[in-house]
Structure 1
Amino acid sequence: MTPRPSVLVFPIDMPQSVAFAHTARQLGFSVVVASSEPVDPGLYSEYTIAVLPYVTAPDFDSALAALLEQHQADRVFAPHPAIWWHLNALCQKADFPARFRVCNESPYEMDWQAYGTSYQWAEASLASRPLLPFAPSSALPLATYAGLHRAYNLIPGQSDNTKLFALTQIARQIGPGDVVEIGSLYGKSAFALTWLAHFHHVGSVICVDPWEIASIRNQGEQAHLINAAVASRDWQQVFLGFAASLAMFDNVNYVRQPSEDAATAYRQAASDGWICSDEFGSTPVQGSIALLHIDGNHRYEAVMRDLETWLPFVQDGGWVLLDDYVWAFGDGPQRAGDELLARRAVKTAFVAADTLFVQL
């Protein structure tokens, strides 16, 4: 039997190392993790744990060679700049007793990668042809869009960067009012809406989601793969992720109820002027929706029910967004969106990514 390829991760006590070790294990590598500092074995129980001297110690090179030989590791992941520099030079020495290569680029390049990608997106967004002919609010600074892109893409979810670009465009068109999202999961699109509402002085974002399976167990016959997958999800974990994703904002809150029940809670919050939660404290509510984002149960009847429930709150000139208008697992959002376009007076409508954007 051919032995599994081995990789050494050193030092393990860095976030990049932990992420790499996890991925390497999933890819079938035998992973050896090492540190020069004491580590908690319980954190790395899935790996072989080793100790190496500090890279500045006289016996570091010999200890490294012995460790590589012992575990037949021919590659090393090293995200620490000084360690990477030393190992990168060491692996090129013909007289070093263990043959290996450093399998990551310079840590300085690694550190910049995510920021560089985000700045490229931000530059492209600012240079792109506007989706709408007139924007009463100015574009935000380049660094602000780059920061939005980077943080947005750290949150789990299917919302892509094309949709994010569209959100940055319509955020410049939105007047004062509440932003209400039906279906938030980990809060990826909610994060973008909250960020943009903050910088464009729109108003509060209210996320409506029961974070439980009953409301989305059945999303239609064509969505049988989706229906089967959601049964294994830990919804309390998803809610905790949502709370952490939005924790830095003071203009967001949530209603943890099904959509129809949440409308009653929203109406009461508008009467009170506030909505409160343990996670976000008190958040002002106007009772007039400037943007409604529907991304709950995608079954046709459920999408129509969300529209019927929440459209009365949407102000003239307000926006309605139907997520997954283009969807591989059914046509519920598309049918509901087409009915909305046929029945209501519409100022603007377009599709970006998979979402229908409608300005009433």
Structure 2
Amino acid sequence: MFTTKVFFVRGKSILVFPINISESAAFAKTARELGVRVVSATSETILADEKNAGIVSLPYITDPDFNRSFFELLAEQGIDSVFSPHPGVWAHLQSLAKGGVSPVAFSVCNEPPLDTNWLRYGAAYQWARLCADEWGLASSVAAALSPTRYANLHFGYNQIPGQNDDVKLLLLAHIVRSAPTGDVVEIGSLYGRSAFALAWLAKFHAIGAVVCVDPWDAVSIKDQGDEATLLNRQAYDVDWEKIFSGFIASMSGFDNVNYIRQPSSDAHEAYMRGVATGGICSDEFGKTRVCGEISILHIDGNHKYDDVRLDVDTWVPSVKHGGWVLVDDYLWAFGDGPRRAGNEILQEYAVETAFVAGDTLCIQLR
């Protein structure tokens, strides 16, 4: 994800104005973490609560008294740099900094906001152009979507926290085009970054329902193998309820999604019950119809070999002919569980094609 390009000027203090814009709050937090003294200001009404403690009031830039109040604040607080993501405010402050009218020397440390804003959209369109490449896919696959559609996918995907990168997104965009209709099942969703991509692609290619399987708890992820000690230690430091709430927010724009909040081995029973009873139900998403034949299986749960192997044994038999099994972190720095289990799929199942893209093993079953 692109963020505002900033030139930190080591000196006295930095003013963030107006603070009541999301980019301002994020910048102020990062600056403080870097040890920079931050002064926050706004022209809006300041509520007297803890959240707004220490926020300084400045007139609107259209107020005749703004320049005087602004210069006084610079002098009183020892400010020599200003950050502003508001285009109008940025332009006015830049004119003051460059116009020789300020009695206090200061600089505007970020680039023009409108230019910065475009970086995210520009990156999305640049990525979208890659989706037109056929990747050597058969002529029978579904047609690529429009660049504007793919740009929308890229933009939304990169708003969600997660470790999957643009290479993984490109992979999913191509895989879906050669996938049969059926259910899309993801084991291990966290905040929903890859789930968002799968749901988006399944919607626009009319693949089927998306089922996210994740217990969202420490118990199921506390032991990912001896080589993953660093990751294992973090399992109990995570607020899993917050992550689950983040997942719900990430996915609530879709009507083709549901989840099973259970370990993978238990979730398969719930999945098959949903097939028999007409759908998987949850308070957040209501009822989602599933067919019991998996088009795409994305395995990204516990990476310990025994757990990945259990995911394979439990779920791969439900993948239909021509369907895809994607083993995430096949190339993993913290162990060989996904690689061993992935290799065993290649040995034990009839395979139409298989390849590795990024760190993901992609297997299309015959």
Counting only pairs closer than 5 Å after superposition, residues 339-358 of structure 1 correspond to structure 2 as 339-358=344-363
SS of residue matched to 2:269? helix
Cross-structure match for 1:304: 309
Q: What SS does structure 2 have at the residue aligned with 1:91?
A: helix
Gaps spanning 5+ residues in structure 1: where? none
TM, length-normalised to structure 1: 0.96
The residue aligned with 1:292 is 297
Distance (Å, rounded) in 1 between the aligned partners of 2:328 and 2:314: 17
> Is 1:202 aligned to 2:207, yes or no?
yes
Among 102, 105, 113, the residue aligned to 2:111: 105
- Map of 1:76 onto structure 2: 82
Q: Distance in 2 between matches of 1:254 and 1:342?
A: 31
Secondary structure of the 1:215 match is coil
Decide whether the 8 Å contact of 1:8 with 1:73 is kept in 2. Answer: yes
What residue number does 1:251 align with?
256
Counterpart-to-counterpart distance in 2, 1:99 and 1:358: 61
| Other-structure match for 1:6 | 13
Superposed displacement of residue 339, structure 1: 0.9
Q: Which amino acid in the other structure matches residue 97 of structure 2?
A: C
Within 2, Cα distance between the matches of 1:166 and 1:11? 40
1:95 shift after superposition: 3.8
| Cα deviation digits, residues 74-119 of structure 1 (max 9, x gap) | 1111112211111111001224101111111112112222111111
- Match of residue 272 from structure 1: 277
Displacement after TM superposition at 1:129 (Å): 5.0
The aligned amino acid for 1:62 is R
Measure, in 2, the Cα distance between the counterparts of 1:229 and 1:131: 41
The residue identity in structure 2 corresponding to 1:31 is: V
Unaligned runs of 5+ in 2: 1-9
Counterpart CA distance in 2 for 1:5 and 1:192 is 44
1:184 aligns to 2:189 (yes or no)? yes
Give aligned-pair identity as a percent.
53
**Aligned residue among 112, 117, 120 for 2:123:** 117
1:161 corresponding residue in structure 2: 166
Deviates more, 1:22-31 or 1:240-249: 22-31
RMSD over aligned Cα atoms: 1.3
Write the distance in 1 (CA, Å) between the matches of 2:134 and 2:166.
16
User: Partners in 2 of 1:233 and 1:359 — Cα distance?
Assistant: 35
Rounded to whole Å, the distance in 2 between the matches of 1:206 and 1:137 is: 22
Provide the C-alpha distance between the structure 1 equivalents of 2:180 and 2:364, rounded to a whole number of angstroms.
Answer: 12
Query: 1:59 Cα deviation (Å)?
Result: 1.7
Name the counterpart of 2:51: 43
Q: Equivalent residue of 1:317, what SS? A: strand
The structure-2 alpha-carbon separation of the partners of 1:5 and 1:286, relative to structure 1 and needing over 3 Å to count, comes to farther
Q: How many residues align?
A: 355
Which whole-Å CA distance do the structure 2 matches of 1:167 and 1:323 have between them? 12
Asked if 1 retains the 8 angstrom alpha-carbon contact of 2:82 and 2:108, the reply is: yes
Deviation of the 1:131 alpha carbon: 4.9
* TM-score, normalised with respect to structure 2: 0.94
The 8 Å contact of residues 197 and 204 in structure 1, kept in 2 or not, is answered as: yes
Cα separation, 1, equivalents of 2:11 and 2:160: 33
| Contact in 2 for aligned 1:131/1:169 (Cα 8 Å) | no
Asked if the contact 2:186/2:298 (under 8 Å) is kept, the reply is yes
